[in-house]
Every structure is written in C-alpha cells, then in structure tokens.
Chain A
Amino acid sequence: MLNAIKDVVRKSSIHVCIVNCGGCNGCDVECVALLSPRYDLEQYGIYVHNNPREADVLLLTGAVTEQWTDNLKRVYDKAPEPKIVVSIGNCPISGDVFNQEGGHVHAPASNFIPVDAEVPGCPPRPSEILEAILAVGPQAIADRGREKK
C-alpha cells in the first residue's frame, strides 16, 4: 500500500537537472524548447530545476570533456536516490564528431556513470526527447524506488 502511494507520487512529480558535460549546446537548447508552451513539459509533472541535489532525472548532454571526467561522478552522487540518467544526443553515446583525432573528449558517458536511456540525434527533436522521457522516466523512477526497499 505504502509502495503504491510512493509510486504514484514518484511518477507524477519528476524533477530534472540538465548536466551539460561539454557539447555544442544544441541539445540544451532543445531541452529549453521543451519548456515552451508548445511542448509543455510541466503538464506531465516534470520540472526543470537544474539543481542536482533535488533531481530525480539527470538529463546528460555533451561528450564528457577533460574537466568533467571526475566532476560527472560527483554530480551524479549528489542526486538523491532513486535517480535515473537519460543521455540526450549523440555526444554521451559515442562522442559524436568530437571523438576523433584532435578532440579532447572522453566519451561515452557510460564509462563514468550508469546511463538508463539514450536518445540519439544531433540534436534530437524536442518531440523525440519528450517521447523518450515519458516512455522511460516515470516507470523507471518507480521501479528504482522499489529496488531500494
């Protein structure tokens, strides 16, 4: 019974933190576009706060640059349990175009923190991001919460 109530609460109110660990900014812009009235992320109970200490979902963008190699894990540790990580764009998955000779990136991000879901694209459309977050977010948060018990 208690778990069921917790599930409902967890599913209906998700706080999001965008962590840009070194990309071209395109995916962050598309995440900001998600807040616009057209896509209206908040009607699904998802709030973007950009504060890892109160985040349930970390939206990861960027290809993990030199400075982020140790900081990324620290940001991840600061988020309270239960938490999930959704990587947006190609950079956290494969390093995109930066992962070649001359680049200073340490992709993929899954080497540093566990990544639960991936949205490919450079950048993905806001509708694709929304679809992915809604498909994976609420249920994963609820499951993750039960695991801990």
Chain B
Amino acid sequence: MIVPIGPIHPALKEPIRLKLQTEGEKVVKAEIEYGYVHRGIEKIIEGQTWQRGIYLSERVCGICSYEHTQTFAETIEQICGVIAPPRAQFLRVITNELDRIQSHFLGNSTFFKSMDHETLFMHVLELREYAMDAIELLTGNRVNMGWNVVGGVRMDADERHFKPILENLKKIEDGFEITREMFAEGPALALRCKDVGIMTKKEAIKGRAVGPIGRGSGIKYDYREDHYTYEDYFDFKTIWRKEGDNYARTLNRFDEIPESISLIRQAIDNIPKGDIRVPVELKSGYAMRKNEAPRGEVTYMIETNGNLIKHISIRTPSIPNMDSCAKYMIPNVASVSDAVSTYASSDPCVACAERVSITDENGDVELKNIDEVM
C-alpha cells in the first residue's frame, strides 16, 4: 500500500509529497516528490547587478538566508580579487553562528513536534527566540537580514550591540543544558529515536549527505575547517557521531550549539579594529565558493559579465540530505509515524531544494521528480 503524505499535512511544515510504500505497518520504500515551491530564483538573479542579486539570493531560503548572502558576497569577492577586511570577517562569523544556532533550534523543535513532544518543542523554541533577538538587534531584521555586501558588511557594531548579544547567549546557555539533558537522557524520547532511521557511513557517502546529517552518520567533515576566516582566527572542533540514527542527528545539532556560542564569544573578544568594508572594482570572470550553512555545504557558482551576473548556479545541502533520507533512512522503519519523524530529523528545507526545472525538447517547462534526473 502506498501512503501519500502532503503537500498539506499536519506533520509537514512545507509543501512536499512523501510517498511511503508500506507492508503492514512497516515502511519499505519512500519517495519524495518535489516541485511545489519552485519559483525560478536562479533565473531571476541572472542579468541583475550584484547589489540586487544579494537580496534575491537571500530569498532562496528563509531559514538559512544568511549563509546564502555570505557565499554570494564571497564568490563575487573572489572574482574581483578582494577579501573582506578582518573586522567584517569577524562580524560575519558572529551573524553566521547566530543563524546556525537558531536554525539548529528550529530543526530540533520541528523534530520534537513531529514526535508530538510539545514540552521540548516549547522549550527549544523559547531558547531560539533569544538567538532571534540577537540577530534582529545586530542586523535589523529577524529572518532576511540584509547584512552582507560585496567587500564587507553594511553596518558596524559596537559595545551596545555586543553586550546584549552576550546576555542573550548567557540565557541560551542557561536553558540549553536542561533541554539537552531532557532529550539525551529521557527514556521515552530515546525509545522513539534511538536505532530509528539508521544511515550508515557508507550510505551517507553514497547519498552525499552533508552537514549535521552526514556528521551524524560518521562523516567528519565541516567546510568551516577550510574556510579562510575560521582557519586563520578561530578555534573550534567538528562535532560528529557515528550512530547514524535520529538520536545521533538531533544530538549532533544540539552539540554544535555550544561550539557556535564559543565561536561568537571568541569573535566578540578578539574583534580587530578597522574598516568594515572595502571598495570593490567589479571584474568579469567565474568563481566557485563553498560555505557551511546550518544544514550543510552551500556552493555558489557565479559567472559575471563585469557589472551584471551572467549565470548563477546554486547547490544547496537540502537535496542530497532529503534524497538520502528517502533512500536510506526511511526504508525499514517500524511505522509510518516513525517515517515522519525520521523525515523531520533530516532537517529538510524545501525552499532551498527547489531550483530545478526540466524542459522537454519543445521548451515546455515540466517539473519532474528529482530521481528521474539523477
């Protein structure tokens, strides 16, 4: 029997269709049908100047919007041969890590909601609000921050911003320990998520899983290790686990939050003085840059034509993560409700994923299942 879930369903936040093939209660196969939020964002960015393009790239995804602007800016900087001044790089790290904190909290809260654990859902969302406050205070908006520009950041920050951010971080830390313990040690939750939705390291490599989903399966890889800012100035350790089940993925996201908090503390303590923005002389050329978004590795490939963007191609972490979820995690879970919580544990972001459109030879646009393309 095939159980279709979505596009509008109590268990899902975003419109997507999850087809589960079941034998009795057991789910044997899963398939994901994309195409409900395809808006053609890459085509819209083509032919625009970077000043506009950076706001458009922000709207690829609403949850990890920050990382998209940073990668966009860094790609154009690479084409023009400049690097943002150190102060701007530090400010970028602060915003990036705040964004990671709120995204991980949101991902975990969705997972708890999918398991119908309202208490933890509320606790986690309450903590998330402190991160959102810090973001709004620093950048001026909660979701689409408009903080990056090519060559640096838009506004400087000083003590009157850093102090409330540190206070908010303290509040997050106070509530974090007990929340994590409730999840990690609580027997009822552990029963529902330990050994459910297992993806082994081999499968994760085969499915190209990235980010906390890959790291939960034993792939010790974080692009931040190779990023010039983190390499030069910061000290952090990559969190990874080897179980590969829902528990590992969720706990992995939890454990990355203290690392992010310590990174923000390091940045605020050691922030250098100087410019926050350098002039950029636009050049034509091609560049590719990667960055570690909350969900994994984001890749931008941009070809510019001097002033205008000739071609842009974005690779977001959600497609490999969701596909490896459908292919390796969901098969052989015990019940449909476990399948839904497994799907939520892969922290899917549909808005990121939907940028593919396939045309037939007549040029008619036809949205197809991603499996047929790959």
Contacts and interface: CB of A to CB of B under 8 A. Distances in A.
A24 interface: yes
Contacts of B149: none
Most chain-B CB neighbours within 10 Å: which of A27, A49, A67, A101? A67
A125 B132 CA distance: 11
Interface string B130-145: 0010000000001110
A138 B102 CA distance: 32
Contacts of B329: none
Contacts of A101: 44, 47
B59 interface: yes
B357 interface: yes
B170 interface: no
A98 B55 contact: no
Given A21-B15, A25-B351, A97 B62 contact: no
B15 A20 contact: yes
Nearest to B124: A36
B365 interface: yes
A66 interface: yes
A100 B55 CA distance: 14
Contact of A71 (B7, B46, B350): B7
Interface stretch (B35-43, B189-197, B251-259, B284-292): B35-43
Contacts of A102: 40, 43-44, 46-47
B125 A28 contact: no
Nearest to B136: A125
Contact of A97 (B37, B44, B61, B65): B44
B37 A23 contact: yes
B211 to A, nearest CB: 17
Contact of B39 (A35, A63, A75): A63
B250 to A, nearest CB: 17
Contacts of B143: 26, 29-30, 123
Contact of A49 (B10, B59, B367): B10
Contacts of B144: 24, 26, 122-123
Interface of B is mostly: loop
A25 B62 contact: yes
Contact of B8 (A17, A29, A33, A96): A17
Contacts of A8: none
B226 interface: no
A51 interface: yes
A65 B7 CA distance: 13
B14 interface: yes
Given A98-B39, A98-B40, A102-B44, 17 more contacts: A21-B15, A23-B39, A25-B349, A28-B14, A29-B106, A30-B143, A65-B37, A66-B365, A68-B15, A97-B56, A97-B59, A98-B44, A101-B47, A103-B39, A103-B43, A104-B40, A104-B357
Query: 9 smallest A-B Cβ distances: which pairs?
Result: A26-B62, A102-B43, A36-B125, A25-B62, A25-B351, A22-B37, A104-B40, A26-B143, A102-B44
Interface of A: 17-30, 32-33, 35-38, 49-52, 62-63, 65-68, 71, 75, 96-98, 100-105, 122-123, 125
Interface of B: 7-15, 35-41, 43-44, 46-47, 55-56, 59-63, 65, 106, 109-110, 121-122, 125-126, 128-129, 132, 142-144, 349-352, 357, 365, 367
